[in-house]
Amino acid sequence: MTVKYTEDHEWIRVEDGIGTVGITDHAQEQLGDVVYVELPEVGAIVAKGDASGVVESVKAASEIYAPVSGEIVDANAALVDAPQTVNTDPTGAGWFYRIRLSDPSQLDGMMDEAAYKAHAGG
């Protein structure tokens, strides 16, 4: 299982060609209390860098960008009723969606955990 990070503070955990996507702990701290999450439709095809969801907090709204290209195969419907899960467990139960990678080599240019921590300033 591989976990990679983007400069936009998304993470992707890949297992068997399927990536689970969410935002990092750093991102949820910057946002504050999350009050709303908009998820992509299952079956949607997204390209790396495309807006693929929205997370809103009491302070700001922020788009979620697809870290890789592929097909959305699952969305975390539990976040619709419990968006605060993004704050309490951003890298676990607070995941946003799962994507079937169309080009796994896109992971190559992404940061590992150590590089991401340096990028995020901590």
Q: DSSP for 12-57?
A: EEEETTEEEEEE-HHHHHHH-SEEEEE-PPTT-EE-TT-EEEEEEE
Percent of the chain with pLDDT over 70: 99
The pLDDT score that the predictor gives to residue 122 is 67
C-alpha–C-alpha distance, residues 36 and 79, integer Å = 8
Range of the domain at 89: 2-105
pTM to 2 decimals? 0.96
pLDDT digits (tens, 9 = 90+) for 59-92: 999 999 999 999 999 999 999 999 999 999 999 9
CATH no. for residue 43?
Answer: 2.40.50.100
The answer to whether residue 116 is domain-embedded is no
pLDDT digits (tens, 9 = 90+) for 22-47: 999 999 999 999 999 999 999 999 99
The answer to whether residue 112 is domain-embedded is no
Phi-psi region of 16 (alpha: psi -120 to 50; beta: other; left: phi over 0): left
Provide the domain count of the chain: 1
The answer to whether residue 12 is domain-embedded is yes
The answer to whether residue 66 is domain-embedded is yes
C-alpha–C-alpha distance, residues 119 and 111, integer Å = 9
The answer to whether residue 78 is domain-embedded is yes
C-alpha–C-alpha distance, residues 77 and 2, integer Å = 24
The answer to whether residue 77 is domain-embedded is yes
Calculate the CA 119 to chain-centre distance: 17
The answer to whether residue 13 is domain-embedded is yes
Calculate the CA 15 to chain-centre distance: 15
The answer to whether residue 111 is domain-embedded is no
Compute and round to an integer the Cα radius of gyration of the chain.
Answer: 13
